[in-house]
Amino acid sequence: MIFGVLGVVNFSHGACYMLGAMIAAILLRDTGMTFWVALVVVPLVMFVIGVLMERLLVRWLLGLDPLYNFLLTFGLTLFTVDLMKREYGVSSLPYPVPDALQGRVSLGSLELSVYQIFAAAFSVLVCVVVWLVLTKTRVGMIVRASTEDAERSRALGINVARWVTPVFGFGIALAGLAGVLAAPTRSVNADMGSFFVIILFATVVIGGLGSILGAVVAGFLVGLVEAYGQAYAPSYAQVLIFVLMALVILFRPAGLFGREETA
Amino acid sequence: MHRNKSLALAASAVAGSLVLAACGSGGPSSGGGKISDDKVVLGLLNDQSGVYKDLSGPNSKVAIQMAVDDYKAKYGDKAVAKNIEIITADHQNKPDIANTKAQEMYDRQKADIILDVPTSSAALAVATQAKAKKKLFIDIGAGTTALTGAQCNKYTFHWAYDTGMLAAGTGGALVADGGKNWSIVYPDYAFGQDMTKSFSAAVEKAGGTVQQKIATPFPNDNFATFITKAGSTNPDVVGIMAAGGDLINFIKQYNQAGMADKARLAVGLMFITDIHSLGVEAFKNTVFTDAWYWNFDDQNRAWADKFKEKTNTRPSFAHAGNYSAALNYLEAVQATGTDDADAVVKELEGKKINDVFLRNGEVRAADHNVTHDVYQVKVKSKDQVKEEWDYEEVLKTVPASEAYAPPSPECKM
């Protein structure tokens, strides 16, 4: 979305995801803030961080080659990761599964933990809400119109620039939310976002840059390829994702759901 | 003809200056007593910023400083080493950086000994430098048996633990306790492969079977598939050979998959800092082998209290190992009256040591592996924990003779 609306290739998602989880863990440790409160508070904090990033840094490079913002966000990632290491060390911070979501349920031959089900359901919910906002509301229409053709939207009297900051902040907030959701099942430390970025990038490319439906479908696709790969050909699991990416680019250079002109 | 002559002249000039330089550097040390450069330089080379920072890192410098203080307090005016300097460097767990830093320490900073060096590949690089420069290297943080096996050398000692000892302590003991069938999950790189080999051997030697050896990518954050696969043969024990952040990823997901109730979890290599970061509940019933535990007895505790005063945290076995290695090195310098590497090696070889870290310790002359009693421990349950860092219940002391394999025939000094 950030790419669609702003033309900014944001490489800092991994760091924002990490920040989301770290902030949740630090708040839990220092203030005893529960998971449920963190689900609301952390995205708000991340939104503010996103707004600051956009206002203070990203904005100045908007007129230039997208590569500049790519480099900026990459640099920010390195900076944030090392800053967190310096402040909080490299050992993971504890973050337990909330009590209400402990336990497991059996679905026939399959046994899932309640938390996994919750995380999956919550992710779907967030996707649906974002989709509804984008398709059914006036705000969504403006954002989509700006994505489609910023020039023409401007000509029609929409203040595209006004929407740039909140959209950027919203993207960062979503990454932070993902971090909170991941905290109970992953080790929460400064490095946790590092693998994530490359896979994420592959996902976005497969789905088509700037396409939300594409990102969702590609997300599932990448997840399945990875899981089956690990089960049947562990050494090739990670390569498979990039083979998939290469195939998609080969046959549909704009990605599965991308539009040719954005490619 | 003329050209050849001038070349020969130049060559002999270079050779001459080299000889002079050698004399020059030899001069002060032979003239100024038996301590080279009039000071003993201890070089701490480890991970100061990455994944192994907390389990050793900068706090190992504090531990080494404690050794220096204890040495000075013990000998006072009679101390052979009057000037002792500690230098540190960050090798970032990369063998190439470790190699360069080791050269820099030995050559430019005049280090008499390098200590710690976690990460097996980095440790092996430093061992090669120690051999080339004929200077001491005592490894504490790395686990590979190659340091005292195929790649052993006269100047390298391995102080705290190795993969063979972890396997004997954890693998052998769990089989004896009824854990016959194993699934092993390991990260697919040198350390993981080495650990899996050692554990399989130990489990089979004790009469157990390893049903599955499951390789995972490294690093990795999603172990769901591997956990399902590990559980598919209904093993008694699941052994995990990952370390650091990957270990924590695995354990969180292992518990959420409900495996904790179905199979016992054996962790190949665990540091107390790992338990601290996740909390004891996540490690319910987990068994592992520890080289040293701060709250094992009064002697350990007294040392750990002093350590806490300076660092506000409890020591891992690597911290205590660095203290012990530095102190015994200084004792050897004291005993021989010199920091000459060959003399110190001779003094250390075969030495039997009992100190705060080593119990029934012996510096084996054959392969320079420092063997000692180790501990099979279980992670305490939450209500057993009486204070912060009080996480381990020692099930059994594994005597040095059982914990360590005999010297490898591959080691030729």
Q: What is the 3-class SS of chain B, one letter each residue?
A: CHHHHHHHHHHHHHHHHHHHHHHHHHHHHHHCCCCHHHCEEEEEEECCCCCCCCCCCCHHHHHHHHHHHHHHHHHHHHCCCCCEEEEEEECCCCHHHHHHHHHHHHHHCCCCEEEECCCHHHHHHHHHHHHHHCCEEEECCCCCHHHHCCCCCCCEEECCCCHHHHHHHHHHHHHHCCCCEEEEEEECCHHHHHHHHHHHHHHHHCCCEEEEEEEECCCCCCCHHHHHHHHCCCCCEEEECCCHHHHHHHHHHHHHCCHHHCCEEEECCCCHHHHHHHCHHHHCCCEEEECCCCCCCHHHHHHHHHHHHHHCCCCCHHHHHHHHHHHHHHHHHHHHCCCCHHHHHHHHCCCEECCCCCCCEEECCCCCEEECCEEEEEECCHHHCCCCCCCEEEEEEECHHHHCCCCCCCCCC
B142 in a structural domain: yes
Tell whether A111 lies on the interface with B, counting CB pairs under 8 A. Answer: yes
Q: Which amino acid, one-letter code, is at A101?
A: L
Does B312 lie in the same domain as B275? no
Do the Cβ atoms of B141 and B46 come closer than 8 Å?
Answer: yes
- Domain of residue B51, residue span: 36-161+296-373
> Tens of pLDDT along B123-170?
999 999 999 999 999 999 998 899 999 999 999 999 999 999 999 989
Which chain A residues have a beta carbon less than 8 Å from that of B224? Answer: 227
Count how many Cα atoms sit within 13 Å of the Cα of residue B195 in the half-sphere of its side chain: 30
Query: Are A192 and B245 a contacting pair at CB < 8 A?
Result: yes
Of the given ranges (A249-263, B131-145, B229-243), which has the lowest mean pLDDT? A249-263
Among B52, B248, B284, B382, the residue to mutate for chain A (most A Cβ within 10 A): B248
Interface residue ranges in chain B relative to chain A, Cβ cutoff 8 Å: 49-55, 188, 214-217, 219-222, 224-226, 228-229, 244-249, 252-253, 256-258, 273-274, 276-279, 281-282
Of B290, B310, B342, which closes a domain? B290
CB atoms within 10 A of CB B382: 9
Q: In whole angstroms, what is the distance from residue B114 CA to residue B25 CA?
A: 21
B44 in a structural domain: yes
Which chain A residues have a beta carbon less than 8 Å from that of B215? Answer: 234-235
Average pLDDT over residues A33-56: 94
What is the per-residue pLDDT for A263? 37
| Strand-strand pairing, B392-398 and B237-240 | unpaired
A107 vs B315, residue with greater confidence: B315
Residue B9 has pLDDT above 70, yes or no: no
What is the per-residue pLDDT for B377? 94
Residue B210 has pLDDT above 90, yes or no: yes
Average pLDDT over residues A90-118: 82
Report which of B335, B333, B185, B149 is spatially closest to residue B259, judged by C-alpha positions. B185
Of B264, B290, B316, which closes a domain? B290
A186 — phi, psi (to 5°)?
-125, 165
Q: Going by C-beta distance under 8 Å and a sequence separation of 6 or more, which residues neighbour residue A123?
A: A181
Does B336 lie in the same domain as B274? no
Does B284 lie in the same domain as B250? yes
Report residue B22's pLDDT band, with 50, 70 and 90 as the boundaries. very low
Average pLDDT over residues B177-197: 90
ipTM of the complex: 0.76
Do the Cβ atoms of B105 and B89 come closer than 8 Å?
Answer: yes
B270 in a structural domain: yes
Do the Cβ atoms of B326 and B67 come closer than 8 Å?
Answer: yes
Average pLDDT over residues B298-305: 97
Q: In whole angstroms, what is the distance from residue A182 CA to residue B282 CA?
A: 16
What is the per-residue pLDDT for A231? 78
Of B267, B290, B313, which closes a domain? B290
Do the Cβ atoms of A103 and A114 come closer than 8 Å?
Answer: yes
What separation in angstroms does the CA of B403 have from each of B116, B144, B170, B371, B375?
21, 15, 10, 8, 9
B8 in a structural domain: no
Tell whether A106 lies on the interface with B, counting CB pairs under 8 A. Answer: no
Of B49, B225, B249, the CB nearest to A230: B225
| Mean pLDDT estimate for chain A | 84
Which chain B residues have a beta carbon less than 8 Å from that of A89? Answer: 53-54
Token pair recorded at residue B277: 């970061």
B408 in a structural domain: no
Average pLDDT over residues B5-23: 48
What is the per-residue pLDDT for B26? 38
B203 in a structural domain: yes
B21 in a structural domain: no
Does B236 lie in the same domain as B148? no
Residue B12 has pLDDT above 60, yes or no: no
CB atoms within 10 A of CB B77: 5
Does B174 lie in the same domain as B150? no
What is the per-residue pLDDT for B32? 39
Does B170 lie in the same domain as B138? no
Residue A71 has pLDDT above 80, yes or no: yes
Average pLDDT over residues A23-32: 92
Q: In whole angstroms, what is the distance from residue B223 CA to residue B217 CA?
A: 10
Of A97, A116, A187, the CB nearest to B249: A187
Which chain B residues have a beta carbon less than 8 Å from that of A186? Answer: 221, 249, 252
Report residue A67's pLDDT band, with 50, 70 and 90 as the boundaries. confident
A102 vs A36, residue with greater confidence: A36
Which chain A residues have a beta carbon less than 8 Å from that of B271? Answer: none
Query: Are A90 and B221 a contacting pair at CB < 8 A?
Result: no
Residue A178 has pLDDT above 50, yes or no: yes
Q: Return the CATH number at B255.
A: 3.40.50.2300
Residue of A nearest to B216 (CA): A234
What is the per-residue pLDDT for A165? 87
Of the given ranges (A77-81, A185-189, B10-14, B117-121), which has the lowest mean pLDDT? B10-14
Query: Are B273 and A238 a contacting pair at CB < 8 A?
Result: no
B217 in a structural domain: yes
Q: State how far residue B252 is from chain A, nearest Cα, in angstroms.
A: 6
Count how many Cα atoms sit within 13 Å of the Cα of residue B4 in the half-sphere of its side chain: 1
Tell whether A88 lies on the interface with B, counting CB pairs under 8 A. Answer: no
Do the Cβ atoms of A53 and A172 come closer than 8 Å?
Answer: yes
Do the Cβ atoms of B243 and B269 come closer than 8 Å?
Answer: yes
Does B202 lie in the same domain as B273? yes
Q: In whole angstroms, what is the distance from residue A160 CA to residue A150 CA?
A: 7
Which chain A residues have a beta carbon less than 8 Å from that of B226? Answer: 230, 234
What is the per-residue pLDDT for B202? 93
Tell whether A113 lies on the interface with B, counting CB pairs under 8 A. Answer: yes
Average pLDDT over residues B218-241: 91
Report which of B182, B206, B207 is spatially closest to residue B196, judged by C-alpha positions. B182
Q: State how far residue A129 is from chain B, nearest Cα, in angstroms.
A: 27
Of the given ranges (B212-216, B277-281, B316-320), which has the lowest mean pLDDT? B277-281
Q: In whole angstroms, what is the distance from residue A238 CA to residue A9 CA?
A: 23
Length of chain A: 263
Tell whether A29 lies on the interface with B, counting CB pairs under 8 A. Answer: no
- Omega before B28 cis (within 30°)? no
Q: In whole angstroms, what is the distance from residue A178 CA to residue A198 CA?
A: 16
Report residue A94's pLDDT band, with 50, 70 and 90 as the boundaries. confident
Do the Cβ atoms of B257 and B224 come closer than 8 Å?
Answer: yes
Report residue A92's pLDDT band, with 50, 70 and 90 as the boundaries. confident
Does B349 lie in the same domain as B279? no
Per the structure, how many domains does chain B have? 2
A239 — phi, psi (to 5°)?
-65, -40
Residue B19 has pLDDT above 50, yes or no: no
Q: In whole angstroms, what is the distance from residue B329 CA to residue B159 CA?
A: 11
Does B184 lie in the same domain as B141? no
Reported as type and span, the H/E element at residue A105 is strand A104-107
What separation in angstroms does the CA of A48 have from each of A130, A173, B94, B341?
19, 8, 37, 59
Report residue B18's pLDDT band, with 50, 70 and 90 as the boundaries. very low
CB atoms within 10 A of CB A85: 17
Does B258 lie in the same domain as B339? no
Count how many Cα atoms sit within 13 Å of the Cα of residue B6 in the half-sphere of its side chain: 2
What is the per-residue pLDDT for A237? 76
Residue B13 has pLDDT above 70, yes or no: no
Q: State how far residue B141 is from chain A, nearest Cα, in angstroms.
A: 16
> Tens of pLDDT along A142-164?
887 877 777 788 888 877 778 88
What is the per-residue pLDDT for A69? 84
Query: Are B54 and A91 a contacting pair at CB < 8 A?
Result: yes
Which chain A residues have a beta carbon less than 8 Å from that of B245? Answer: 92, 187, 189, 191-192
Does B135 lie in the same domain as B46? yes
What is the per-residue pLDDT for A1? 56
> Tens of pLDDT along B329-376?
999 999 999 999 999 999 999 999 999 999 999 999 999 999 999 999
Do the Cβ atoms of B208 and B167 come closer than 8 Å?
Answer: no
| Mean pLDDT estimate for chain B | 89
Does B157 lie in the same domain as B182? no
Reported as type and span, the H/E element at residue A110 is strand A110-113
